[in-house]
Chains A and B, each alone.
Chain A
């Protein structure tokens, strides 16, 4: 009799524990479900923003969806948009690339002092070759300019000068 009561108490205890565990699991499932809803909503927002981008342009997207979009998302969207634009307007995209190249070349010409110096030395050499001679003073000034070139270009310019002197294109001495 006593043994039966003990077994009964144990069973009741186990059933209570089981009920509690079931309740906890249920709460976890509800919590995960709620998070899944949030994630789904965010994904829908991203997709919605992407479709808006295609219609409205990048500035509007940046203003409406910065809260939910990550940097990676933005990069991806921009790449998608650029690829889409290039497919739709291949000629315009090519022109833009060509325009950018020209702008870069101009920037190099105007912005890079060493590049300008090399061009200056080349021009002077061409001038002396055209004139046919070089005075000692002009030679010294030219060498001073060559010295200020990047090391890789000094040899090139000295070589050109030396060959011009040897060939008699420029009458002068070092």
Chain B
């Protein structure tokens, strides 16, 4: 009887570990070519089953050859259907927003018909983290 209780308790403990690993909210990349927006989280895109999905933002800073620098930011995404969204920005506030983005986060951006970013958003949430980081193994 004691053995049976121990086995049941052990099984319950294992089940609860698996079931309560924290909230997970994968957000596959979605590009809307009508609304000119793109959304998605980086982890889901990275580990998606297809070879298309990606999403991200970045900043480039160059010597302008005239004693100054030229900076621009960009966001880019492609969903599983191969629809692509790219935008660039020289707006200082949007560049600041890109600088503050974190790893494994959710990204959303909009752009106009000239390909200029009009909105960039980031959300760093635990539920966007990969299932298990190496540091936690």
Contact = CB atoms under 8 A, between A and B. Distances in A.
Contact of A155 (B84, B87, B90): B90
Nearest to B85: A166
B84 A166 contact: yes
Interface string A130-174: 000000000000011011100100110011011101101000011
A166 B86 contact: yes
Interface stretch (B2-10, B17-25, B64-72): B64-72
B56 to A, nearest CB: 9
B62 A147 contact: yes
B58 interface: yes
Interface residues of A, number: 18
A174 B116 CA distance: 14
Interface string B62-101: 1111100010101010000010111110100000000000
Contacts of B72: 154, 158
B115 A162 contact: yes
A67 B74 CA distance: 69
B65 A159 contact: no
A161 B84 CA distance: 13
Interface in B93-137: 111, 114-116
Contacts of A168: 82, 84
B87 A148 contact: no
A78 B107 CA distance: 69
B70 A174 contact: no
Contact of A147 (B70, B87, B114, B116): B70
A159 B62 contact: no
Shortest Cβ-Cβ A-B pairs, 7 listed: A162-B115, A147-B62, A147-B70, A165-B86, A148-B65, A174-B74, A166-B86
Interface of B: 54, 58, 60, 62-66, 70, 72, 74, 76, 82, 84-88, 90, 111, 114-116
Given A143-B62, A148-B65, A163-B86, 10 more contacts: A147-B62, A148-B64, A148-B66, A151-B70, A159-B116, A161-B88, A161-B115, A166-B84, A168-B82, A174-B58
